[in-house]
Structure 1
Amino acid sequence: MARFCTRCGKPLEEGEVCNCGQEVTAQQAAPQQQTAPQQQAAPQAGYMPNEQQFQQTQQAVTGFLSKMFGAFINVIKHPVTAGRNMILTADWGVSIALIVLQGIFTAIFGAVAGKTAVGFLGGFSSLFGEIKIPYAKIIFGTLAISVALSFVLALLLMIGNMIIKNTLGYKEMLGAVASRSCVIVITTIIAIIVFLIHTQTGVIVWGVGNIWGFFIILQAMPLADEKMRDKLPTVMILVYLIFMLLTSLCVYKGSSLYTPSVEDDYEDYMDDLDSWFN
């Protein structure tokens, strides 16, 4: 009498056992084994260890600093060609970093100048009382003023280019100001060293560096038409005069950053004199 499997209906010989149950079990187990690694791999794909994130951030920062200092060295070596390339590239990140770098060294120069001025007033300590150097105000105040003036200069340069109908925008002018900043950083470092030896000469070196920076912008400025080259010096002189007026105003208004405690003590001293005679 023929026998059949009660599960799949397969004909069976005498004493034969159907293995359909084992095949079903194996087929059900195989997809589970295949999906298990995928389920385990999924969290790993979206997971990034802190060490890897730190390495990526470090590489990004290192790459940016290398790019910034590379541009800085190029401008020092080849002021006109590298300055023109910086203008045309219009990399606002590098430009702002170089502008801030200039502000930092200008702030250091301001701190050195403030210390010298307070040292001069030290001989009048009997009149003013104790004189303290407000280093924090000097450094952060000078840094803020320097960076702000650089952004204003970029705006003035953009307006000047609009007057002569040169097709350059604000980002390009930030590049022009950044090329000036590279020159000023070097001359400011020299000015600080000279200032410690001879005060007046140090101030002259610093002023010459600022004028030199404007010549770099004048020579490096790319023009849509070379006929504009005749108009550019006049525009640059106007920009320079307006910028110097704004700088003088900022220096006048910000002079209190350097000796506020002296002014206060001096006012108290003058009030005492008034009380004695009145």
Structure 2
Amino acid sequence: MAKFCTKCGRRLEEGEVCNCQGQAQGAGQAQNTAQAQPQYQYQYQGQQAAKVQIDTEQMKQMGAQAVAGAQNMFLRIVPVLKRPVTETRKIASEHSPLVGLEFMGLKALVVLIIVLVAAARLSDAMGGLIEMPYFKLILLALLLTLAMDVLEAFLLKSFAGMFGGSTDINAMFSVVGSRALYDGIIAAAAGILALIFPKGMVFVVLIGGVILPYVEYGAFRAVVPGDEDRRVYAFFLVKAIVTVVMYLIFYALGQSVLSVLTGSLMSSFGSLM
């Protein structure tokens, strides 16, 4: 006697089991998967769009903060130049290293530009016979400016405490930063004078070298309470240490830069001959 499937009505052979239910379930799963794929795709695209929007907003916020910080720094320049001690005390009272670090960075940028321009002019004057070690020049400029200023701030804080003074690192960043602002302006003036009046450049550098320690010491005294005589020793010991470290860095990297320049020049002459 013939048998038929009770679900779909298909005729079945002897012992055969109809698979209509399995096919229906498979079709349903395929349909559900097909429906879910666009949904997941839309969710992924929405997440990506939201992420891009968040990144854009963060970039805008960072840009706005950078612009605001730069504006604040430039607004501080004239007051510090007019009243170095009073304004440094005011900056130190804010208990933030930001302004001092910005002044240090500005000085480093000015010196770096001067070094790169001088190196490019020297290379042009030599007709391309020497290959400038720009990486070492950049490293040397940053070490002698930004790194030394940060080191001096930490040394001033340490020695002030050793000699009975009371201060914090933020105040020392303000002191060194104010002096770095003067350094940057003197470096810019010297760089300009080097192009038009080299003797004037030497005069500006010498005057700056004499005046700046007194300006910095005045700011140091203003923000570090303690014994007057001990503060003098603390300050000038720090200046002596920083000078020695700067000389060692300049000697080590300067020798390397000079060796590269000499080797490049000799190689150029050898190829010409």
TM-score range, shorter chain: 0.5 to 0.7
1:67 matches 2:72: yes
What is the Cα deviation at residue 114 of structure 1?
A: 3.9
What's the C-alpha RMSD, in Å, of the aligned pairs? 3.3
Q: Which whole-Å CA distance do the structure 2 matches of 1:105 and 1:181 have between them?
A: 11
What is the Cα deviation at residue 194 of structure 1?
A: 1.3
Structure 2 residue identity aligned to 1:244: T
Aligned to 1:57: 62
Aligned to 2:87: 82
Q: Which whole-Å CA distance do the structure 1 matches of 2:189 and 2:146 have between them?
A: 20
What is the Cα deviation at residue 75 of structure 1?
A: 0.9
Give the gaps of 5 or more residues in structure 2.
Answer: 1-49
Bigger mean CA deviation after superposition, 206-215 or 245-254: 206-215
Q: Which whole-Å CA distance do the structure 1 matches of 2:165 and 2:98 have between them?
A: 23
Bigger mean CA deviation after superposition, 80-89 or 129-138: 129-138
TM-score normalized with structure 2 length: 0.67
Q: Output one character per residue of 1:193-244: Cα deviation in whole Å (capped at 9) or x when no partner.
A: 112234454245235435433222211122324xx22332333222222211
Q: Which whole-Å CA distance do the structure 2 matches of 1:150 and 1:137 have between them?
A: 19
Aligned to 1:250: 249
Q: Output one character per residue of 1:141-173: Cα deviation in whole Å (capped at 9) or x when no partner.
A: 412432111111112211221132111122221
Identity %, equivalent residues: 21
What is the Cα deviation at residue 140 of structure 1?
A: 4.5
Q: Which whole-Å CA distance do the structure 1 matches of 2:255 and 2:121 have between them?
A: 15
Superposition pairs for residues 119-138 of structure 1, below 5 Å?
122=126, 130-138=129-137
Distance 1:224 1:148, change over 3 A: same
Superposition pairs for residues 1-278 of structure 1, below 5 Å?
49=53, 53-114=58-119, 122=126, 130-199=129-198, 201-221=200-220, 222-225=223-226, 228-256=227-255, 258-265=257-264
Distance 1:265 1:163, change over 3 A: same
Q: Output one character per residue of 1:83-137: Cα deviation in whole Å (capped at 9) or x when no partner.
A: 22223323222222221111111222333444566678x4xx8xxx911334454
Q: Which whole-Å CA distance do the structure 2 matches of 1:250 and 1:152 have between them?
A: 13
TM-score normalized with structure 1 length: 0.65
- Asked if structure 1 preserves the Cα contact closer than 8 Å seen for 2:97 and 2:170, the reply is yes
- Asked if structure 2 preserves the Cα contact closer than 8 Å seen for 1:191 and 1:202, the reply is yes
Q: Which whole-Å CA distance do the structure 2 matches of 1:88 and 1:169 have between them?
A: 11
Q: Which whole-Å CA distance do the structure 2 matches of 1:235 and 1:99 have between them?
A: 22
SS at match of 1:167: coil
Structure 1 residue identity aligned to 2:225: A
Q: Which whole-Å CA distance do the structure 2 matches of 1:269 and 1:65 have between them?
A: 44
Aligned to 1:39: none
Q: Which whole-Å CA distance do the structure 2 matches of 1:214 and 1:167 have between them?
A: 21
Count of aligned pairs between the two proteins: 218
Q: Which whole-Å CA distance do the structure 1 matches of 2:182 and 2:261 have between them?
A: 34
Q: Which whole-Å CA distance do the structure 1 matches of 2:195 and 2:206 have between them?
A: 16
What is the Cα deviation at residue 180 of structure 1?
A: 0.7
Give the gaps of 5 or more residues in structure 1.
Answer: 1-46, 272-278
Q: Which whole-Å CA distance do the structure 2 matches of 1:235 and 1:54 have between them?
A: 44
Q: Which whole-Å CA distance do the structure 1 matches of 2:161 and 2:167 have between them?
A: 8
Q: Which whole-Å CA distance do the structure 2 matches of 1:211 and 1:242 have between them?
A: 18
Distance 1:62 1:144, change over 3 A: same
Q: Which whole-Å CA distance do the structure 2 matches of 1:177 and 1:146 have between them?
A: 11
What is the Cα deviation at residue 253 of structure 1?
A: 1.5
Q: Which whole-Å CA distance do the structure 2 matches of 1:268 and 1:58 have between them?
A: 47
